[in-house]
Amino acid sequence: MKRAKLSPGERAVRIFGYILMILAVIVALYPILWVILSSFKTNKEILSSGLSLPEHFSLDGYKQALEMAPIFQFFATSLMISVTATVLNVLFLSMSGYIFAKKRFRGKNILFWILSLSMVIPTTALLSPVFTVISKMGLYDTKAALIIVYIALSMPVSLMILRSTFSAIPDELEEAARMDGAGFLKNFFLVMIPCAKGGMASAAVLAFLESWNEFTFALILTSSVSTRTLPLSLSYFTAQFSFNYTALFAAITIAVIPSIVIFAFFQEQVNQSLVAGSVKG
Amino acid sequence: MKLRKLAAGSLVFCMVAGAMASSAFADEIVINYPTFQVGANTSAPAIAELVNRFNEEYAGQYRIEVEEVPGDENYADKITVQIASSETLPPVVYGAGQKLLDLALQADAVKDISEAVDADPDWAAMYTESWEEVNCRDGKKYASSMESEMIGYFYNKELFEQAGIDGPAATWDEFFEDLDKLKEAGITPLAMDTADGAWCTQLLVGAYLASTEEGMEFLKTKYPTDYNNEAMINAMAKAQELYQNYTTLDAVGGAYENAANNFFSGNVAIICNGPWMISDFSDESKTEAGFADKVGAAAYPDSFVYDAPIEGMFVTKQDDPALEEAAVAMVQFFTSNEAQAVALDLSGMVPASSAVEITDEILEKYPLLGEFLSQASACENRASTLTGNMVPGLEDIWDNELPNLASGASTPEDFCQVLTDFAAANPAQ
């Protein structure tokens, strides 16, 4: 098939488009590359010539990072907590999203907005009450505490996404299933859930990233190495009057890679989640 | 058959021994000790050693379990949330210049340790006037210091020589003349900063403030609420001049690490900081080999040095009196003269107690520290730091406003007014 020849104007527009895309890629990738390159530099090189390539590629930063902080243990804990919080978040919020989307009951909209409003409460305001509640429940310094808090933190976003997702599924599908004899649970798990896979994946990705990157509650609610998560490990490398940027950037490299991989695999779902609800609410 | 009996006997012996050992350790009191002195913190080796020594000395009775809270600010945030939540605090909290003692006292969470201190003559002797100012309230002893904030400045001898300067200035006039000489020789004189409390800058400003009687009096005021005084305005005017003419471009917006890197790289001749920086001068990941030999230490002009014990460890009120006793034993151990000597040896921490001897071995290990301490001992004027005495929260206003002062967007008078407005609206309780 022969390609249509572009006019000079169209060619200029296309070239301009490519230039814009290349710039966008550079802007997106540069900070990540900078961090990875910095993990091979000395502290002096990082602070004096931040943009240059390392004089010598050295793995000392990674060695120091692993010696100074139990990064792999924190990594495993982070993974366990984030995965559990994500699975539970999506499971529970898909149930509530379905009810908010498909069922009618008094005070539905008010309840939905109250739950959504929790998104705008600043973390600082939540610290003290959450700490008190978790302590009173006897969950201080447990993984369960972080899992519960992370499920709650991701609740408003997941609820909005999943409510929009279930709203977009035609009611006829549900009615047909009911006529075929499907009960409430069968209808939800066998008909609705398969249709909402896209929205659930979007909610899962955002919930996972929120849990994986969260720092403040992990600091406040845990005390032992066995319950600490990866973001806390980054604080081992800088103190008020002391710093080890090489080790810090090595630790960041180890910490961000899973987030990048997850995002790369599920970017379609994340992008969809950002526009979810803009068409039909 | 014999073998069976022997095996059974061994098992019984192991079980009895195990039971006895476990009953011995069952009475052991565990002290959960959160600390930020881990990781990259320069005090980490000393604290780890002291924890080991305490656990050995009190084996079977008390045991410290360290909770690592890396990052000074993170530590302060965590303790602050615990205080605000009215939950039981860890048995021992280190104030560490984060103003945690007053916060915990407001929540009525601190145990008065006067009786324990007075029962030990060596411990009681540590409570000099400066100690009492930091660690006591209303005549009651609440905290005990393990480290002193004795601070002067460091200078690059090679750069001084290039500029034709013989050594540290004795007066502020000489100091500013030296800055001009450095500038004329093409050398940037000062390492300054504006971010994270502008540590290096506030040391310089405070030292200059101490050069007048009014300034010194102000510097010694705990939690002042009025910064509109001539000495403070003059000091901020001097800071503005220094930002605009005598420091690096990255000073505005830069934090301690930028200032330190400029000094390590030989980009500037002078940096104000404490002796904890000394070990960095020989760290080849931060500076070139042999840099430590180029560095000199000095007290400030007009015979001034920062010298105040850092707010120490305090015991918090617990439901279990035995745990409180264990916590008192820990504070006594960690702030004893022996412990301070260990901290000096391992991490170069300047002792808070004047009874700790600076031995020849220490002077050989840290020659620059010896040089500084000998100059500091001759100083007639002493005070704690400017930001250390600010009301809680004012440090954030201080570093938010400094870039405006540095660029000339605000005048020294405006700057002092902003500080006054905040301090007057948020006085310390």
ipTM for this prediction: 0.77
Res. B236: pLDDT tops 90: yes
Say which amino acid occupies B78: K
Name the residue of chain A whose CA is nearest to B73's CA: A240
Pick from B40, B85, B257: CB nearest A47? B257
Interchain contact, A239 vs B36, CB within 8 Å: yes
The answer, for A139 touching chain B at a CB cutoff of 8 Å, is no
Q: Which of B331 and A32 is assigned the larger pLDDT?
A: B331
How many Cβ atoms from other residues are within 10 Å of residue A210's Cβ?
18
| Residue of B73, B87, B147, B285 best to disrupt the A interface, most CBs of A under 10 A | B285
Interchain contact, B77 vs A219, CB within 8 Å: yes
Query: Cα distance from A112 to chain B (closest Cα, Å)?
Result: 29
The answer, for A242 touching chain B at a CB cutoff of 8 Å, is yes
End-to-end C-alpha distance for chain B, whole angstroms:
78
pLDDT, residue A240, reads 73
What span, in angstroms and rounded, lies between the C-alpha atoms of B179 and B160? 10
Residue B223 in tokens: 């939690």
Q: Tell me: the pLDDT tens digits for B309-355?
A: 889 999 999 999 999 999 999 999 999 999 999 999 888 888 888 88
Q: Which domains does chain A have, with CATH numbers?
A: 69-275 (1.10.3720.10)
Do the beta carbons of residue A166 and residue A101 sit within 8 Å?
yes
Which residues of chain B are within 8 Å of residue A59 when distances are taken between CB atoms? Answer: none
Q: Tell me: the pLDDT tens digits for A110-139?
A: 999 888 888 888 888 899 999 999 999 999
Interchain contact, A132 vs B85, CB within 8 Å: yes
Do the beta carbons of residue B143 and residue B131 sit within 8 Å?
no
3-class SS of residue A116? helix
What span, in angstroms and rounded, lies between the C-alpha atoms of B368 and B346? 15
Q: Tell me: the pLDDT tens digits for A201-242?
A: 989 989 998 999 899 999 999 999 899 998 888 888 877 777
CA dihedral A259, A261, A267, A269 (to 10 degrees): -80
Residue B53 in tokens: 């020594």
Tell me the pairing of strands B29-35 and B304-309. unpaired
Q: Which of B25 and B354 is assigned the larger pLDDT?
A: B354
Interchain contact, B85 vs A135, CB within 8 Å: yes
The CA-based diameter of chain A, rounded to the nearest angstrom, is: 73
Lowest mean pLDDT among A211-220, A269-278, B204-213: A269-278
Phi/psi of residue B168, nearest 5 degrees: -60, 145
Quickly state the pLDDT bin for A280 (edges 50, 70, 90): very low
Which residues of chain A are within 8 Å of residue B66 when distances are taken between CB atoms? Answer: none
Query: Cα distance from A241 to chain B (closest Cα, Å)?
Result: 7
Phi/psi of residue B149, nearest 5 degrees: -95, 80
Res. B18: pLDDT tops 70: no
Pick from B36, B67, B285: CB nearest A223? B67
How many Cβ atoms from other residues are within 10 Å of residue A63's Cβ?
13
3-class SS of residue A142? coil
| Residue of A224, A235, A236, A244 best to disrupt the B interface, most CBs of B under 10 A | A235
Phi/psi of residue B272, nearest 5 degrees: -90, 125
Q: How far is CA B23 from the centre of its chain?
A: 41
Give the helix, strand, coil percentages of chain B, each rounded to 5.
55, 15, 35
Which residues of chain A are within 8 Å of residue B198 when distances are taken between CB atoms? Answer: none
Query: Cα distance from B340 to chain A (closest Cα, Å)?
Result: 20
Give the gyration radius of chain B's Cα atoms.
Answer: 25
Query: Cα distance from A228 to chain B (closest Cα, Å)?
Result: 10
Pick from A48, A128, A238: CB nearest B261? A48
Mean pLDDT of all residues in B178-183: 97
Pick from A220, A241, A247: CB nearest B276? A241
The answer, for A124 touching chain B at a CB cutoff of 8 Å, is no
**Residues whose CB is less than 8 angstroms from the CB of residue B325 and which lie 6 or more positions away in sequence, other chains included:** none
**Residues whose CB is less than 8 angstroms from the CB of residue B390 and which lie 6 or more positions away in sequence, other chains included:** B223, B224, B398, B423
Pick from A129, A240, A247: CB nearest B72? A240
Dihedral sign, Cα of residue B378, residue B278, residue B312, residue B29: negative
The answer, for A239 touching chain B at a CB cutoff of 8 Å, is yes
Residue B141 in tokens: 């002893």
What span, in angstroms and rounded, lies between the C-alpha atoms of A77 and A142? 11
Interchain contact, B70 vs A236, CB within 8 Å: yes
Which residues of chain A are within 8 Å of residue B40 when distances are taken between CB atoms? Answer: 68, 236-239, 242-244, 247
What span, in angstroms and rounded, lies between the C-alpha atoms of A217 and A86? 16
Q: Tell me: the pLDDT tens digits for A147-186?
A: 999 999 999 999 999 999 999 999 998 899 989 888 889 9
**DSSP structural state of residue A6:** P
What span, in angstroms and rounded, lies between the C-alpha atoms of A220 and B65? 17
Query: Cα distance from A1 to chain B (closest Cα, Å)?
Result: 59
3-class SS of residue A38? helix
Give chain B's contact residues with A (Cβ, < 8 Å).
32, 34, 36, 38-42, 67-74, 77-78, 81-82, 84-87, 196, 199, 256-258, 261, 264-265, 273-274, 276-277, 280, 283-288
Long-range contacts of A228-231 (CB under 8 A, 24+ apart): A228/A73, A228/A74, A228/A77, A229/A74, A229/A77, A229/A78, A229/A81, A229/A146, A230/A71, A230/A74, A230/A75, A230/A77, A230/A78, A230/A255, A231/A78, A231/A255
3-class SS of residue B62? strand
What span, in angstroms and rounded, lies between the C-alpha atoms of B79 and A127? 12
Mean pLDDT of chain B: 90
The answer, for A223 touching chain B at a CB cutoff of 8 Å, is yes
Which residues of chain A are within 8 Å of residue B277 when distances are taken between CB atoms? Answer: 241
Do the beta carbons of residue A41 and residue A246 sit within 8 Å?
yes
Q: Tell me: the pLDDT tens digits for B286-312?
A: 888 899 999 999 999 999 999 888 899
Pick from B67, B256, B288: CB nearest A241? B256
Which residues of chain A are within 8 Å of residue B70 when distances are taken between CB atoms? Answer: 69, 232-233, 235-236, 239
Pick from B74, B256, B285: CB nearest A235? B74
Interchain contact, B276 vs A42, CB within 8 Å: no
The answer, for A247 touching chain B at a CB cutoff of 8 Å, is yes
Residue B316 in tokens: 């918090």
**Residues whose CB is less than 8 angstroms from the CB of residue B373 and which lie 6 or more positions away in sequence, other chains included:** B150, B350, B358
Mean pLDDT of all residues in A59-74: 88
| Residue of B36, B37, B68, B154 best to disrupt the A interface, most CBs of A under 10 A | B68
**Residues whose CB is less than 8 angstroms from the CB of residue B210 and which lie 6 or more positions away in sequence, other chains included:** B216, B219, B300, B302, B304, B381, B383
Place of tokens 């659930």: A200
Quickly state the pLDDT bin for A281 (edges 50, 70, 90): very low
List B62's β-bridge partners, or say none: B29
Q: Which domains does chain B have, with CATH numbers?
A: 28-144+313-351 (3.40.190.10), 150-307+370-425 (3.40.190.10)
Pick from A44, A69, A225: CB nearest B264? A44
Closest residue by Cα to residue A114 from A162, A155, A85: A155
Residue B227 in tokens: 């910064």
Residue B333 in tokens: 């151990």
Interchain contact, A241 vs B34, CB within 8 Å: no
Res. B21: pLDDT tops 80: no
